[in-house]
Amino acid sequence: MRYILRRLGFFIVTLWAAMTVNFFLPRLMPGNPATAMIARFHGRLSGQSLRAMEVAFGVNTQQSLVSQYFAYLGNSFTGQFGRSLTFFPDTVAQVVFQALPWTLGLVGVTTVIAFIVGTLIGMVGAWGRGGWFDSILPPIFIVLSAFPYFWIALVFILVFSITLGWLPLGFGYTNGQAMTLTWAFAWDVIQHAILPAFTIILTSIGGWILTMRNNMIMTLNEDYVRMARAKGLSPARIMFDYAGRNAILPNLSGFGMSLGFVVSGAILVEYVFSYPGVGYMMLQSVLNEDYPLMQTLFLFITVAVLLAILAVDGVTVLLDPRTRGSG
Amino acid sequence: MSAPATTGRPTRRGPPGLRSAGTLGRAILSNRKALAGAILLGICIVMAIIPGVIAPGDPNAEAFMPGQGPSTANWLGTTSYGQDIFAQFIWGARASLVIAVAAGLLSTMISALIGVGAGYLGGTTDSLLSLITDVFLVIPAFPLVVIIAAYSKTGGNTMIIAVLVATGWSYGARQLRAQVLSLRHREFLTAARLRGERSWRIIIAEILPNMTSLLVANFLGASVYAILTAAGLQFLGLGNVNTPSWGTMLYWAQNNEALQAGIPLWAIAPGVGIATLGGAFALLNYAFDEISNPVLRPVRKRRARRTP
């Protein structure tokens, strides 16, 4: 229990750090780049909303830095992120919640698939070490993981969309189609997701393979694995229940760091495919100097990553009895 | 990113494994992955040092017919602006290599400073430094990098390197700290303390030499991160889009819809470059795991089946 509480504490500290970074970055830059942006809001916004925006970015406000900071934190926790310049009358929160499901679907599904497949390949590779399986798959995927995500995306578009014409060029669904809960629409969405999904899976699988394979090789040398062999247990049981279950633990705790890596790649993949998710929105906001949207997206990406890490912590507690103790 | 499983390995006093450059050279030659990585890296280094010899002239000169396919004059064809793609490809190596090495070295140094400091000093310092490390580890780096780049519009490679170091040091710091913790109570450190050595001398002369392999692995990992992230930033146009680099080539290719316009080599060539350089570092890293950790070394043949 204490383990989970400690992780929750870490969650809050990290969230606070991300907000603080958001608050201080525009203020630290020479000549506060947000000044020009706020000027564009004049005439469109007035009164309280304009003032809230000025406090958030530290532009012509008389308040002290400390009171600005707490006003900003308060606004963030109550979901007042201001308005988006790019999608003007819409609030930032509306824009973010439109984009979030697309990214959660794409990145969530691909990360889980990559993790499971990568861990399995690493496990089987280490089990039959030096064999044909181990000499082919792990090296291929490790080299693939050194390719830039967005470049693989470009090559996929070239081959499957432009040359072969099998799959759509980009975007989340066929333009103009009504977003309804029908099979036709679902199929349309899946077709659009295939190329981005494969891009992310192919390039992120290598990291899981490498760490799992190394962990597994170390675990297979342990005495309890030898003991299991001596007892005459079936190879599958030894591989999964004895070696695999222990070898997967460092992989799980490395999940947080890898997830940040996957999210980073996914942003570029969304950009290449014009996929209407958080990453694409973020780059749009950068191009339009839409700082409120940009900062809020960063905050939401951080929260999503933190939630995923908490979920993984839960799995760790299930797999590793040591974390359940009072330690 | 790899996690070299070197932590907790029994370490003798003095530099482990790699006693001299000769040993390292032999180890690389005898490991196929290391050899492949070294060759790829060598190609990139040659391109970075003497681009003018391989492809003379200004790579940005708009001197040819735009949008041409490969020919004897332009081996990889020309861009929509009439630039030679081959020349741009060769000249692009330098920026990527400089960013990779500079960002890799700097982040390894910060990792070592914070990781070793935290592990050796212990107590409150350790708790605080570890917390900072973990926070940096979890905050998604690329969105943060994009934000910083968007605010500081000055661009340029120096800005990119600074941002990459600021976001890339935490992974290594965590690993180095773990390694220091496993070394902390060894006899040779106790002996050094009893001799009355100062802390900084113990760290530099006793601890760091024992972590050479981990430091090298860290440098390689940080460099791969730097190559890919820098390419991503340049691809988005968040660097200086007029300096020749593989990332900016991709930026211009994407902005001119090179794929649809029938000049796919404009986008493919720089990607191959990035992948070659990134792959070289990744292969070296993968091989280095095996060189520095005997347990991971490839086995020729599995020992006879254990089942009786």
Amino acid letter, B160: I
Residue A256: its chain B contacts at CB < 8 A? 137-138
Across the interface, of A21, A33, A298, the residue whose CB is closest to B153 is A33
Residue A83, classed as helix, strand or coil, is strand
Question: Token pair of A150, please?
Answer: 């967005």
Residue A58: its pLDDT value, please?
66
Question: CA-to-CA distance for A112 and A118, rounded, in angstroms?
Answer: 10
**Residue in B with minimal Cα distance to A207:** B1
Residue B15: its pLDDT value, please?
45
Amino acid letter, B273: G
Residue A45 bridge partners (DSSP)? A42
Residue A291: its chain B contacts at CB < 8 A? 150
Question: Hey, which residues 66-95 in chain A have their CB within 8 Å of chain B?
Answer: none
CA atoms within 13 A on the CB side of A211: 22
Contact A262, A272 (CB under 8 A): no
Question: Token pair of B113, please?
Answer: 């400073």
Residue A277, classed as helix, strand or coil, is coil
Question: CA-to-CA distance for A250 and A243, rounded, in angstroms?
Answer: 13
Is residue A271 less than 8 Å (CB to CB) from chain B? yes
Share of residues in chain A with pLDDT > 70 (%): 85
Question: CA-to-CA distance for A155 and A152, rounded, in angstroms?
Answer: 5
pLDDT averages per 10-residue partition of chain B, 308 residues:
41 45 68 83 86 75 72 72 79 88 93 89 87 85 83 75 87 86 82 85 84 85 88 83 84 80 81 88 80 66 46
Residue range of the domain that includes B200: 84-293
Residue A135: its pLDDT value, please?
79
Q: Among positive and negative, which fits the CA dihedral B91, B95, B100, B104?
A: positive
Q: Do B271 and A207 touch (CB under 8 A)?
A: no
CA torsion A254→B3→B108→B204, rounded to 10°? 110
Residue A264: its chain B contacts at CB < 8 A? 140-143, 229, 232
Domain count along chain B: 1
Across the interface, of B146, B295, B301, the residue whose CB is closest to A282 is B146
DSSP string, A17-77: HHHHHHHHHHHHSTT-THHHHHHHHBTTB-HHHHHHHHHHHT-S--S-HHHHHHHHHHHHH
Contact A294, A301 (CB under 8 A): no
Contact B213, B19 (CB under 8 A): no
Distance from CA of A273 to the nearest CA of B (A): 11
Amino acid letter, B190: T
For A141, A176, A249, B170, the CA distances from A214, given in Å and listed in that order, are 15, 49, 12, 21
Q: Do A211 and B2 touch (CB under 8 A)?
A: yes
Domain boundaries, chain A: 16-77, 92-325
Instruction: For domain A92-325, give the fold.
Output: MetI-like fold (1.10.3720)
Q: Hey, of B33, B144, B256, which one would you mutate to test binding to chain A, going by the most A CBs within 10 A of its CB?
A: B144
Q: Do A264 and B298 touch (CB under 8 A)?
A: no
Distance from CA of A253 to the nearest CA of B (A): 11
Is residue A232 less than 8 Å (CB to CB) from chain B? yes
Residue A266: its pLDDT value, please?
83
Q: Hey, of A37, A86, A158, A210, which one would you mutate to test binding to chain B, going by the most B CBs within 10 A of its CB?
A: A210
CA torsion A284→A290→A292→A298, rounded to 10°? 30
Mean pLDDT of chain A: 79
Amino acid letter, A112: V
CA torsion A91→A97→A98→A99, rounded to 10°? 110
Contact A24, A45 (CB under 8 A): no
Cβ of B68: how many Cβ atoms within 10 Å?
17
* Residue recorded with tokens 């482990």: B16
Lowest mean pLDDT among A182-186, A193-197, B180-184, B301-305: B301-305
Higher pLDDT, A164 or B232: B232
DSSP string, chain B: ----TTTT----SSS-S--SHHHHHHHHHH-HHHHHHHHHHHHHHHHHH-HHHHS-S-TT---S-TT----SSSTT-B-TTS-BHHHHHHHHHHHHHHHHHHHHHHHHHHHHHHHHHHHHH-HHHHHHHHHHHHHHHHS-HHHHHHHHHHH-TT-HHHHHHHHHHHHHSHHHHHHHHHHHHHHTT-HHHHHHHHTT--HHHIIIIIIGGGGHHHHHHHHHHHHHHHHHHHHHHHHTT-S-TTS--HHHHHHHHHHTTTTTTT-THHHHHHHHHHHHHHHHHHHHHHHHHHHH-GGGSPPSSPPSP---
Q: Do B302 and A128 touch (CB under 8 A)?
A: yes
Q: Do A217 and B296 touch (CB under 8 A)?
A: yes
- pLDDT tens-digit readout, A2-55: 777 888 888 888 888 888 888 888 777 766 666 766 776 666 666 666 777 777
Question: CA-to-CA distance for A102 and A266, rounded, in angstroms?
Answer: 11
Residue B274 lies in a domain: yes
CA atoms within 13 A on the CB side of B270: 36
Question: CA-to-CA distance for A222 and B206, rounded, in angstroms?
Answer: 30
Cβ of A158: how many Cβ atoms within 10 Å?
17
Residue B106: its pLDDT value, please?
95
Question: CA-to-CA distance for A38 and B84, rounded, in angstroms?
Answer: 43
How large is the ipTM? 0.79
| Residue B200 main-chain phi, psi, to 5 deg | -65, -35
Size of interface A-B (CB pairs under 8 A): 178
**Residue in A with minimal Cα distance to B223:** A146
Residue A91, classed as helix, strand or coil, is strand
Looking at residue B117, which CATH number applies to its domain?
1.10.3720.10
Question: CA-to-CA distance for B132 and B266, rounded, in angstroms?
Answer: 42
Determine the average pLDDT of the residues in A100-128. 87
CA atoms within 13 A on the CB side of B241: 11
Q: Do A143 and B282 touch (CB under 8 A)?
A: yes
Contact B300, A130 (CB under 8 A): yes
Residue B111: its pLDDT value, please?
92
Higher pLDDT, A147 or B220: B220
Give me the numbers of helices (H) and strands (E) for chain A, helices first please.
14, 0
Contact B166, B111 (CB under 8 A): no
- pLDDT tens-digit readout, A205-228: 888 888 888 888 888 888 888 888
Distance from CA of B201 to the nearest CA of A (A): 33
Residue B118 bridge partners (DSSP)? none
Contact A48, A41 (CB under 8 A): no
